[in-house]
Each structure stands twice: as C-alpha cells, then as structure tokens.
Amino acid sequence: MSIRKSSLLMPRTSGWIGVSALSAALLATTALPSKADEALADLVESVSPSVVTIIAEQEAKPTPAQGQNFDFEAHPFGEFFKRFGTPEGFNTPQRGPAQGLGSGFVLDEAGYIITNHHVVDNATTVTVRLYDDRTFDAEIIGTDPLTDIAVLKIDADAGLQAVELGDSDVIRVGEDVVAIGNPFGLSSTVTTGIVSAKGRNISQGPYAEFIQTDAAINKGNSGGPLFNMDGEVVGVNSAIYSPSGGSVGLGFAVTSNIVEHIAADLRDDGQVSRGWLGVSIQNVSPEIAAAMGIDTSTGALVSDVVDGSPAEGVLQQGDIILTFNDEAVDSSSDLPLLVGTTKVGTESTLTVLRDGTEQQLELTIGQHQSAALDVEDPVAEATSGTALGVTVAPLTETTRSEIGVSDSVNGVIVTDLKPDSPAAKAGLQRGDVIVKLGSQETDTPDALKAALDSEKTDPALVLINRAGNQIFVAVEIA
C-alpha cells in the first residue's frame, strides 16, 4: 500500500501542483456539457416562449346548507340548523370560485392557443399567461370532448412566438421527446423522456389516438406540448396513468396530426365536422377468420349497415374493410379515426374482402350525427352534476349504430365525464349506456335523475351496456 501511495507522489516542488492540475483537468472534463446536452438546452430555450399557462375559473356556487360541505360547527346557529334544518330563504355560504391551472401553446401569431378540452370545460373565464408574464383574457373558440382538444384566442398586440406542428405519424418508438408545461402551477417546467408507444387507445373515444411517453407529466401539464428533438410539437399532453395521482412514467399525448385537423375545424366555425360511413364494425378474431374460411385476421368486419347511411347499398354485412383511401385498416379501431378525419363529401375508396375476393368500392363520406357531439337536450345537460359527474343523452338510432348497441337495449348514453368524478373513478367511459341505477331503469335522462335523487345506497350498483356487453359497476353518489 505504501508503494502505491508513494508512486502517486511527486517531488515537493512540483508534485502537489501536478496532482492538483490533474484533478482540475478531470473535473473540467466531467463538467463540460455534451453536445447532446447543449442541443437539448438550445431546443428548450427556443420553444419555451411558445408555452403558456391556462387559468380557467368557474363561478362561485352556493354551498348546500344541509349538505356535507356546510360547516355547521363554524356557524353560530350550526347546531340548530343541523338538528332542525335551515329556515326558508336562508342565504347559505358561497363556495369560492374554482380555479384550475393547465398548459397550452401558441399555434400561430394571430393569437390562437391550443389546450385540452378538460382544462377549460365549464369555465366562465379563461386567462392565458405568456412566458413573459403578460396575461390576456381568452375566448374559447371551440372544444372537442372526443379528442380533448380546445382552441382559444387572445388579442395580443405583439410578441407571440408560434410553434410548428410536426408529423406524428413518422415519430418512432424510442425517440427522445420533451414535455414543457406547468405541473402543479410550476410554470415552464421541462421534462424529458422517450416515445414509449404509438397508437394507444385509452378509452377516450374512437377519434382520439395517443402517443405514450415516459417524460414526467403531472397535473397542470394538461394541454401542454410534447416536442420532438427538432422543436416540433408531436402531441398535446392530455392524460396520465397513475394509481397515486403522480407521474409513474405513463403519460399520453394526443397526436399532432389529430390536433391539426381538429384545430382547423374549430377555427373555421367552432365545431368539428366528422366523416361518417354508417356501419357497425368489429375486429376479425382468429376464430371468426376460421369460421369465414379466410387466412387474415386484420381489417374491420362490418356487422351492420345503417339505413340511409353512406354505406347503404355499398357495404354489406360480412364485408371486411382492409383499406380506406389507401390507408391500411389493421383493426376496427383504425377505421373510425380514418373516416372521422375525412372531410364530409369526400369521394372515398375502400378495399373490402367479400366472399373471399378483394373488391374496390367507392362512396361519399357523410356527416357524423353522433349525439355525443351535439347534446342540446336541456334535460340531458341538467343531469350533469356532482352526483355522478356525467353528461348523458337519449339513445338514438345513429348512436346505437355507432356504439354497437341493439334495439333491445334501453338507457341513456354517456357523452361526457368530468375528470376525477365518481363515474370516471368507477370506470365509466364515453359511449357507455346506463341501463339501470339501483333497481330503477334509466331509459331517459329524467329517469336517471329520478333514480339518483331516490337512491339510498352508496355506492350505488349501476348496470351499463358497453358495446353490447352488460356490466355492473359500483359508483359512489355522495
């Protein structure tokens, strides 16, 4: 050991200087940033001014005097009210305005901003705070719950820096990505990761497709951009999977190609125009393929054709759709996305397998009429509340066809859910049909409301129909 020590020592006049110089050189080498680090820092510096904070505020609501949120103990007549109820006309305390924080980004210099639908849903006022701390009142141009995208507009005099939308189709699993947003209100937070998977379906609906990433995404990141290493937006961060509520490396972003289509529609007239075929479809399982005497288990199998739809007289039950406008249809989940993003009135070509022979068919894409897009029934809207956290609408022939529910099923269709609501926590999804709540049938929105008002059991047993399958779920309705 002494020999090894001494071998490191130099003459007194120069040895310690030499060792110090060597250490300094080593430290300098390890401290120098790599080219990759510099490239990432340059990217973040260049795109950060395009990322904004979204502040969405909901109006104050009265606190029910008899409800669990009323603080009886703090009121001088609290014990009296608790025992005998509050007098008629009693002014109950007001809940303060609810304020939510999210993220977004500047789409163009005209002041259009992209964020999530759920960030601004039910907001009475929306404020956009820019990178330089300037704030502007925002107008909600339009939102699309089925893809969770919203377009806002601000009137800024100058100084807006827009982003470029990239092609999400060409991004590959394993590529580096950067998320920038405002998790927990901490503005301009940067996290990095890779593309973990593409084409994810997380039960958001048939028209949304997600990029999965392990870049840390938390509450407040919603609506923020997911960048590739060229500084292009390839996704809008929308959801996380987390048992605890924090990031566990499973984040999901709506693909930029869907965002581009939805944003263009919303900017045009505030609404989304979706293409429609008018067929019920399902996957081709190996068992079905064997029964049909075919070798492939890819494509979308037509199980029904809607009367009066664009597909009537063109497609038939038993057809297997293999391509749509030269795009491969590998499974039934591919087709709604391809058709939904096609402009209404477009002449389209489908390749189908019919009786073992491939055929080319042509039809004109129609206008989607799903009730999930246009819920105007005031009763349906009224049932969207704190009890379940859902918005429902009556079943129609069109929606039955779209979700694969037969005429024998009665109930109301779930058209929207509030994040973290009892219904969402119980696993309900858009497109589910609520058939019963407790022992009461829920054929109409009024019937559901009545069942909620009279239900004594908490959690309540709810029978739903999901794509033709009956499922019981337990939902807390406090």
50 is known as an active-site residue: no
Pick from 462, 469, 448: which is nearest to 406 by CA?
469
Residue among 103, 168, 187, 222 flagged as catalytic: 222
Q: Helix, strand, coil: what percent of the chain each, to 5? A: 25, 30, 45
118 is known as an active-site residue: yes
Residue among 121, 144, 148, 334 flagged as catalytic: 148
Q: Where are the beta strands (DSSP E) in 395-432?
A: 412-417
Q: Say which residues have a Cβ less than 8 Å from residue 87's Cβ, sequence separation at least 6.
A: none
Residue among 50, 103, 118, 332 flagged as catalytic: 118
Identify whether 310 is preceded by a cis peptide bond (ω within 30 of 0): no
Q: Where are the alpha helices (DSSP H) in 108-190?
A: 117-120
Report the DSSP beta bridge partners of residue 3.
Answer: none
**What is the length of the chain?**
478
| Other Cβ atoms within 10 Å of 367 Cβ, number | 11
| Sole residue written with tokens 């840390």 | 216
Contact 218, 193 (CB under 8 A): no
Burial class of residue 355, CB neighbours in 10 A (0-12, 13-18, 19+): exposed
- Taking the CA atoms of 46, 47, 48 and 50 in sequence, report the sign of the dihedral they define: positive
How far are the Cα atoms of 234, 289, 345, 436 from residue 116, in angstroms, in the given order? 15, 40, 28, 32
265 is known as an active-site residue: no
Burial class of residue 206, CB neighbours in 10 A (0-12, 13-18, 19+): buried
Rounded Cα distance between 410 and 413, Å, is: 10
Q: Where are the beta strands (DSSP E) in 50-144?
A: 51-58, 98-106, 112-115, 125-129, 135-144
Rounded Cα distance between 116 and 140, Å, is: 11
Report the catalytic residues: 118, 148, 222
